Amino acid sequence: MELPIIVVNFLYAVLGVVLMYASYRVIDRLTPEMDFRDELKKGNIAVAIFIAALFVSIAIVIGGALN
């Protein structure tokens, strides 16, 4: 394997994580009446499923954009 390819793939992975975190923060700010962190601490399964679906859909969009 060539080093530039490894570096580019690593940068794509870091960019993907940063974009997923930023997207989560945007959704969190768009829904001020819903405290996701507090609901997860309470064990709310519906919120956990929503966040999981959010991460999967954001990953699909970011993966398509970076590819």
Per-residue pLDDT of 9-60, as tens digits, reads 899 889 888 988 998 899 889 998 988 889 999 999 999 999 999 889 988 9
Three-state DSSP class for residue 3 = helix
Q: What is the pTM of this model?
A: 0.72
* Domain enclosing residue 20, as ranges: 3-66
Return the pLDDT at 65.
81
Work out the pLDDT band at 63, boundaries 50, 70, 90.
confident
Return the pLDDT at 43.
95
Q: How many domains does the chain have?
A: 1
pLDDT at 66 over 80: no
